Amino acid sequence: MALYTRLLVNLAADEHRGEVLQKLRRLSGPEAQVELFSSVYSAGLAGSYLFDAENRQHVIQSVLRKVEKGLTSHVDKLQHEGINAGADVYWDRDLSESVVRKVLRYQPDLVLHAPAAHANPLQRLLSAPDWRLLRQCPAPLLLSKKAHWSDRPVIAAAIDPFHLDDEAAELDERLLQQAAGLAKQLDGELHVLHVFNTLPHSAIFDEHLVVDYEALQQKVRREHRVRIDELIRPYGLSVGDPNVHLLEGELHQLAPAWVERTQVDVLVMGSLARGFIDRLLLGSSAERLMDRVGCDLLVLKPDSFRCPVSEH
């Protein structure tokens, strides 16, 4: 049985359509319902003085029909292959919010989106559409960065069970469930990644805890191994397995090289809400990795996530 029944595919960039649709085909089971979506906007056309209001609307409708015709050609191919598919086009100035509004209406199990390359780090501060979509999308979001998946793709869940609240712990369970389900559906390999610091921040300021630094390091390592072992045992894994990776350091620093070394196809991660200042300076782990890893990212939100975008 396929992991996803309702899939929404944002086809904003022509150059990525082929690879995204190939992944869609591998994700679509017999019961799948697929919607191809594209959001269109032209500031020059919307603000042009060459047209009155009626003619401008006529030109906009012509643009939308042209885009819809392109989507329909893909829909026809998918339907010919036995995939139930449709198409929808919006005219919307805010491209990221347009996708989110479509998500709220369509209620997909998964959104597929090919992000643009962000050469300039300041784009995060300028709220580039990809960053905003990652933050705002309430549904699982697959950021398609890799051209093609392997025949037996490596699906890795990045987990961190040392949380202070139940919300994050439940998210770790969902990450493992999604990664395991995806690996099974694609006949791939399930890997688990946990990156941690051996010296907790709370211990740095306690002189009694840092007297025997090496003993503390070993204690923290053991605790992480035990906790990870408990979490992954239902999936037939243990910390001694070659598919389970415990790294010491910072996730955003170690993950890119590990992803390349392990030949990961999809990295499954959680995205937890932060305050404005934290988001501005740090961002979530998923945001920090979006431009640093070459693999696809499947980003999940906790059940308590409240979408900041309204449906209308």
Q: How does pLDDT run across 239-296, given as a tens digit for each residue?
A: 999 999 999 998 889 999 999 999 999 999 998 755 443 444 345 677 778 888 999 9
Lowest mean pLDDT among 13-17, 53-57, 68-72, 226-230: 13-17
Predicted pLDDT at 312: 72
Asked whether the beta carbons of 174 and 284 are under 8 A apart, the reply is no
Predicted pLDDT at 301: 92
CB proximity list for 260: less than 8 A, separation 6 or greater: 294
Mean pLDDT of 222-239: 93
Residues of the chain with CATH 3.40.50.12370: 146-312
Per-residue pLDDT at 221 exceeds 70:
yes
CATH number of 1-144: 3.40.50.620
The pTM is what?
0.88
Dihedral sign, Cα of residue 200, residue 282, residue 109, residue 311: positive
CA distance 7 to 23: 11
Residues of the chain with CATH 3.40.50.620: 1-144
Predicted pLDDT at 205: 53
pLDDT tens, 111-143? 999 987 655 555 554 447 888 899 899 999 999
144's tokens? 């398609």
Q: What fold does the segment set 146-312 form as a domain? A: Rossmann fold (3.40.50)
